[in-house]
Structure 1
Amino acid sequence: MKPKNPHFFSRIGIAIACFFKIIGNSEFAGGVQALRLAERQRKKANGTAAATAAAKPAAPALKEAAPDGALQLLGLLQREARFIDFIQEDVAAYPDADVGAAARLVHEGCRKVLVDNFSIDPVREEDEGSAITLPEGFDAAAIRITGNVVGEPPFNGHITHRGWRVVETRLPKLSGSHDLHIVAPAEVEL
């Protein structure tokens, strides 16, 4: 059972533990930020009777994603699959056979990057086309409902895509001097 009002030294210990957890865990930091925002909104709403009557639940705090992982992944896709080169190229002028041959090479390289750096599993194990029932309280972050959505769960439907979930990430470690913004260095032949 936790105390309602921890004494001074307990509060110092809590503050230090939270400080390091916030620094090391962006999800935890987002939760703390949401709590602080909710507290400010609660105090503001309690300031006037009209504000209290009109108060609505606070929208979840948005957290900003660090670009480092995205930049590193983009660099890996460029190195292994020439991904940026392919996407930046205007393929409309090329015959379909040439585009298809290039896409095969890009696909092979992109697949290598995924296999080498991530473990990915389907969100749902059932085959696409399978009938399923979504109970009340289903994970709306993992399952997107499409079509004619009316009423409350349980919902009966068919799986049109099993979804994907990253189970493990194994991006390479980088030296401190590595500039992630250079996803592909310019090449100069002498």
Structure 2
Amino acid sequence: MRRGSVAALVVIGLIAGGIAAAVALLIPWLPPDASRQAGRTDFEFWFVVTICIVIFAIVSAVMIYSVWRFRAAPDDTSDGPPIHGHTGLEIAWTVIPTILVTAIGITSAIVLSRNGAVASNVMRINVTAQQFAWTFNYPEANNLSSSTLMLPKNREVELYMQSKDVIHSFFVPQFRLTQDIVPGITTKLV
């Protein structure tokens, strides 16, 4: 491959990468947040996505370079030279993932510990899940029951959730929290 062709491929790759990055930054990937936990959860999401993008870019670049640089000649059918280990490389591909997974674990633990903190002025809502229906009971509002979840503005809420029949999953995308509800177990969600 000629130098001009390689340069053209690099330019095309940079342009495509720039367009992809611009599109990725302009699209709202997550719904609007409606809880105090959402910002921390979004941070953790983007932290992991950024690590994944960097790893993908490095692996793709090494793979493309290797395919281009070490390709066999059209008439070459021989095996490559045997290679037996590279201690530095083996240490690197053990230590780097360990550091990355530890960083993700630490940030996740911090986010989860902050998300679980309960304020003093919490409104209790009893949630009952059953097949094809949800019932929300508000003890502070004369035990008002509704099939629609209604939340007060700027006040912490604690959901006490129970299932009558099967396992249900409670998920509100704007809260960035999901919780499975198992029959016979009362689950709390702040």
**TM bracket (short chain):** under 0.3
- Rg larger in 1 or in 2? 2
* TM-score, normalising length: structure 2: 0.22
The structure whose residues are more often strand, as a share, is: 2
* TM-score, normalising length: structure 1: 0.22
